[in-house]
Structure 1
Amino acid sequence: MFEIAKRICPEIERHISTQANNTNYATYHFWHTLGAKRVVSARELSMQEIKEIRANIPEDLEIETFVHGAMCISYSGRCLLSSYFTGRDANQGACTHPCRWKYAVVEEKRPGEYLPVYENERGTYIFNSKDLCMIEHIPDLLDAGIDSFKIEGRMKTALYVATVARTYRKAIDDYLEDPKLYEEHMPWYRTQIASCTYRQFTTGFFYGRSDENTQIYDNNTYVKEYTYLGIVGEVDAEGRCRIEQRNKFSVGEQIEIMKPDGQNVEVTVKRILNEDGEEQESAPHSKQILHVELEGGRAEAYDILRRKE
């Protein structure tokens, strides 16, 4: 398949997934000889192992590494649980995260008799990993020679992806401008990461083998601090922004404009109009096209609207 892609679309870069078991520089050399431009490292690699790979591969071969998001319970993400239970294939981007579910034990000679596995009154989520978060370790990631930081956003909202990507982008830029600026802004980075969805965090395998502290045993949920309302498509001459609404909001509510440069502007919803120009007091229907007039700040194309809960 790789050779077919190379022959039919030679102008398109070819990247190798983490599921190709990319754990050493010999593997990277193999893919480079076949024409790969970028290889995504296995999540099980340590920072030192990534540095060793970087030192022993061609300069034009890029390393991409997961730095944030859900950690798969299976080796390098090669899991069949989602496909088996729900028909949604994790290897094609549709994982339902069955590792976050609550399980019991069944003894083979006593079918139908479920033996509970308890850590406390809420049960035990024995496959449930903490989320990876490397926002506090940008210097180490850059020093390791990683070319592309990969953020896991599977089955997440656009608000989640935008918030996390924006935060890492700013952290990288701040550090490259001045390491002291990066340290000064660390509370802001942490606040932004926690604002979209929050689970307990881990550094994964970057600084050694995982242990019992990388798991979450008492629950399987995210805590959400903000609700995603929509992305601004365009803004007319009168300042009204066109959005495809994703969650309900109403006239008079306080919301935020989340901008790519890191600004969060608090505004008030002054008017909501549908596509026919008719005013409405609220926007209860998901994916409805609306024109929204805001007071207190101006939105621009690709800004995100969100509401603090």
Structure 2
Amino acid sequence: MLPKLLAPAGNIDKLVMAVEYGADEVYFAGKSMGMRAGGKNFTSKDLENGVEYCHKYGRKSNITVNIVPHNEDLKGIEEYLKYLQKIGVDALIVADPGIIEIIKQTIPDMKIHLSTQANTTNYQTARFWYKQGVNRIVLARELSFVEIEEIIKNSPKDLEFETFVHGAMCISYSGRCLLSSFMTGRFSNKGDCAQSCRWKYNLVEEKRPGEYYPIEENDEGTFIMNSKDMCMVEHVQKFADLGITAMKIEGRNKSEYYTAIAVRSYRNALNELSLPENQRNTQYWKEELEKSSHRDYSYGFYFGNPYKDGQLYTSSSYIRTYDVVGIIRSYSKKDGTAIVEQRNKFSEGDTLECFGPKGKHFEVIAKNLCDEKGNKIDSAPHAQQIVQIDISQDVEPYFILRKKI
């Protein structure tokens, strides 16, 4: 059986995109207890709508309550958990044993997924958490395929395992870092990381305050703790062979476009496992992932400790080669006209690429641009402007138009 594909959602629009592009499960958070405080996250109404949308299309909703809580964070937790159960949440992602105990006492039928924040790196720890009522373990990102195989082999058969396959990596064990709180007062273990590890650093000798000695790899300096991003789309067969329950994409704070292209690439790569290897489009899906905003890619720890190959010493900036220019809201097959909601400026005559959940992208020349009222326009410069555009190939809502930068 294929692993489930688990996608991130920082808001309701990203959740819709994750579902539309093929995620089996979506993980997101309310305004409290989640590990991505920088994201807008979900209001109570959005949580209800998000869970309902997932269930409407037969997908599951996993809510993160995986901060490392202090005493004050426990206030009102029972009421919040009861609310999550009431709206039909499928599972809770948890890192703290105290929160697990509260869940078992308050909503004992709720499925518990142990967060990667708990740093599970061996089968004895997996067995321990299983005895505490955990249904699925999100393994630490610092494990190799060999170690994962041994963990699964020596764990209860009904214990599920989930692994990260794509997205940002952390310099610290699965994100348990104190650097951000020390440098800025922003607590990474409460979801508010300032990513201090990606800053430029200089050396100061204690008797020469104010004299900064550059630590240089190139003219821009060096980024000694800046990890590369993970990309495992070339190796989805291995996760299936190991019996991994769910493959997880990182990135709740990233864009709708990132969500769409990451989910699309891994969904199609998984579906193609039923084809002979020479008929799979693995390289194409890797190239598609390189068209989303990313740092240089690596395989993380899956083939052993990457050492220097896992770090990016020359820059902390993202690589971005394409801009999303619009999301298709409707399409008329009769006259070949698409209604597009603008995301970045595009103009008459521009060469665009269009893609949806399935199949490869295709080229579109922007022509016969009109505004919402049907008036001819030369360009679409305004944010979320509604634009009409001719597209000869059939498209559907949530297809995306992008333009090479």
**Shorter chain as normaliser: what TM range?**
0.7 to 0.9
2:348 aligned with 1:251: yes
Instruction: Report whether the alignment pairs 1:267 with 2:364.
Output: yes
- In the other structure, the counterpart of 1:213 is 309
Q: How far did 1:52 drift? A: 1.0
* Residue in 1 that maps onto 2:226: 128
Contact 2:145-2:303 at 8 Å conserved across structures = yes
Partner of 2:320: 224
Q: Of 142, 167, 181, which residue of structure 2 is paired with 1:69?
A: 167
Q: Residue 196 of structure 1 aligns to a residue in which SS?
A: coil
Query: Could you tell me which of 266, 290, 298 is aligned with 1:202?
Result: 298
In 2 relative to 1, CA 293–10 (structure 1 residues): closer, same or farther, beyond 3 Å? farther
- Displacement of 1:22: 0.9
1:50 to 111, 129, 148: 148
AA of the residue aligned to 2:201: Y
State the match for 2:209 in structure 1. 111
- Provide the C-alpha distance between the structure 2 equivalents of 1:90 and 1:249, rounded to a whole number of angstroms: 38
Q: Distance in 2 between matches of 1:291 and 1:11?
A: 48
CA-based RMSD of the aligned residues comes to 2.7
Where does the alignment leave 5 or more consecutive residues of structure 1 unmatched? Answer: none
Distance in structure 2 (CA, Å) of the matches to 1:6 and 1:70 = 32
Change (3 A) 1:240 1:16: farther
1:284 aligns with 2:381: yes
Kept in 1: contact 2:369–2:379 (CA 8 A): no
So what's the TM-score if we normalise by structure 2? Answer: 0.67
- Structure 1 residue identity aligned to 2:325: L
User: Does the CA-based 8 Å contact 2:222-2:315 persist in structure 1?
Assistant: yes
Aligned to 2:284: 188
User: Deviation per CA, 1:113-147, whole angstroms, max 9, x where unpaired?
Assistant: 22211123221111122222222222222222211
Task: For residue 66 of structure 1, give the secondary structure of its aligned residue in structure 2.
Answer: strand
The structure-2 alpha-carbon separation of the partners of 1:136 and 1:292, relative to structure 1 and needing over 3 Å to count, comes to same
Q: Please tell me whether the aligned partners of residues 251 and 272 of structure 1 are also in contact (alpha carbons under 8 angstroms).
A: no
8 Å contact 2:137–2:160 — kept in the other structure? yes
Report % sequence identity. Answer: 45
Structure 2 SS opposite 1:271: coil
One-letter code aligned to 2:149: K
Deviates more, 1:288-297 or 1:220-229: 288-297
In the superposition, relative to structure 1, how do residues 111 and 285 fare at CA in structure 2: closer, same or farther (>3 Å)?
A: farther
Counting only pairs closer than 5 Å after superposition, residues 166-181 of structure 1 correspond to structure 2 as: 166-181=264-279
Q: Distance in 2 between matches of 1:279 and 1:14?
A: 55
Looking at structure 2, the residues matched to 83 and 229 of structure 1 have their Cα atoms a distance apart, in angstroms, of 37
Q: Distance in 1 between matches of 2:326 and 2:124?
A: 45
**Partners of 2:346 and 2:379 within 8 A in 1:** yes
Give distance in 2, aligned partners of 1:240 and 1:83.
52
TM-score, normalized by length of structure 1?
0.86
Question: Offset at 1:14?
Answer: 2.3
For the pair 1:13 / 2:111, whether they are aligned, the reply is yes
Give the number of aligned pairs.
305
How big is the shift at 1:32?
2.4
How far 1:65 moved relative to its partner?
0.7
Q: Which residue of 2 aligns with 1:149?
A: 247
SS state at 1:285 partner: coil
